[in-house]
Amino acid sequence: MSVAYKAVGWNRNKLIYDAVAVAAIFGFVETFIQLAPAFAPAGPPLDDQAVHMRAWGGCAFLLTSLVLCIGPLARLDARFLPLLYNRRHLGVMTALVALAHASYVLGWYFGFSPVDPYVALLSSNTSYTRIAGFPFEVFGVAALLILGVLASTSHDFWLAFLTPPLWKAIHISIYAAYALVVAHVALGAMTMPYNGPLAIVVGGGVLCVACLHLAAAAIGARADAPAHPLDDGWLDVGDPSSIRDGRAVVVPVASGESIAVFRDKDRFSAIANACAHQNGPLGEGRIVDGCVTCPWHGYQYRPEDGVSPPPFTEKVATYRLRLEGGLLQVDPRPNAPGAFVPPLLVPGDAA
């Protein structure tokens, strides 16, 4: 969160995240450039432009696959959450890598065209009525445009200006971009001879993305099953010692909403699981400097009243907790957003 819209401020975690990502990108590209000629089929050697084009294109495909894998990975295992916190940085890098691939394509295939390279790109092949020889370039152009839009609207200014529902709808188009990238590769590079390894990489990437999403959806469906209420309507949360310090467990309720029960040392508080910013899953976040921190964009809330620290004004509902028979229980009836509820103190030996 920031008081005003301004350039991204890199803290230590962001610097490490971005440095590792940039190093991995250039490491992959350089390794590809060095090894590709040695694994090329017999025949004329690959020229430098073609090698660079394939290196940046392969990197763009892998990055797009990774961006789509981060969400389900974070839901399946909390150890992947650090990858989620700055995923938008990775999305911007993906757009830049795809742009580098496109620049090599234009410079090599259309650099000496008698017409504008951009016009030649879309007009040199018009075989739209057949699969063999289909102008796969249009899929790449469409994917690049989508990635460019997503990268250029990644700042929180656009999130507020467009409103969260519209912003989210626009950024869901990453799935369309991925489908276009796969079509671009399948009808382009994979139609060339000796591209078995590429087919394995692309097929494996698509299978990995699909399987992770299906696994996360299956686990999410089980986790979203509402808890059975007790006689007085309260819900069992479980053993307080099972909640990691600074983390939460999520309790679904019959209304379709869910409650995040957080532990801060020996104090327990419950707030609505949906972030007021963009409905991010607060229960997948953690407590930082005494505030619940959303894993999506870092919005924070005090756990005892669900209010963002000044000068921010966002609020979420709070819930009452009690300890019965050594187990935490939560009242599923929400208090008004911002209503103060004293944290439940659980002795150290019990928690």
User: 180, 198, 222 — which closes off a domain?
Assistant: 222
Instruction: Judge whether 135 lies within some domain.
Output: yes
- What's the domain count of the chain? 2
Both 148 and 34 in one domain: the answer is yes
Both 169 and 279 in one domain: the answer is no
**CATH code, domain with 242:** 2.102.10.10
Instruction: Judge whether 4 lies within some domain.
Output: no
Integer CA distances (angstroms), 35 to 46, 100, 346, in order: 11, 20, 59
Instruction: Judge whether 350 lies within some domain.
Output: no
Q: How far apart are CA 249 and CA 258, in angstroms?
A: 10
Q: What share of the chain is helix, strand, coil (3-state, %, to 5)?
A: 50, 15, 35
- At residue 5, the pLDDT reads 46
What ranges in the chain are assigned the alpha helix state H?
Answer: 12-39, 48-76, 81-85, 87-109, 117-123, 137-152, 156-162, 164-171, 174-187, 196-223
Q: Which domain holds residue 141?
A: 12-222
Instruction: Judge whether 306 lies within some domain.
Output: yes
**CATH code, domain with 129:** 1.20.120
Low-confidence ranges of the chain (pLDDT < 50): 1-6
Amino acid at 265: K
Both 265 and 335 in one domain: the answer is yes
Phi, psi of 237 (to 5 degrees): -100, -40
Structure tokens at 127: 């075989």
- At residue 2, the pLDDT reads 42
Both 213 and 261 in one domain: the answer is no
Each residue of 159-202: pLDDT tens digit? 778 887 788 889 899 999 999 999 998 887 766 666 667 788 88
Both 206 and 265 in one domain: the answer is no
- At residue 85, the pLDDT reads 75
Q: How far apart are CA 261 and CA 240, in angstroms?
A: 10
Both 299 and 169 in one domain: the answer is no
pTM: 0.74
Both 104 and 249 in one domain: the answer is no
Instruction: Judge whether 205 lies within some domain.
Output: yes
Both 67 and 131 in one domain: the answer is yes
Both 136 and 196 in one domain: the answer is yes
Each residue of 89-116: pLDDT tens digit? 899 999 999 999 999 888 777 766 677 7
Both 208 and 312 in one domain: the answer is no
- At residue 160, the pLDDT reads 75
Both 199 and 244 in one domain: the answer is no
Both 191 and 248 in one domain: the answer is no
- At residue 339, the pLDDT reads 95
- At residue 174, the pLDDT reads 95
Instruction: Judge whether 25 lies within some domain.
Output: yes
User: 168, 189, 222 — which closes off a domain?
Assistant: 222
Instruction: Judge whether 229 lies within some domain.
Output: no
Smallest CA-to-CA distance from 287 within 261, 253, 315, 310 is with: 261
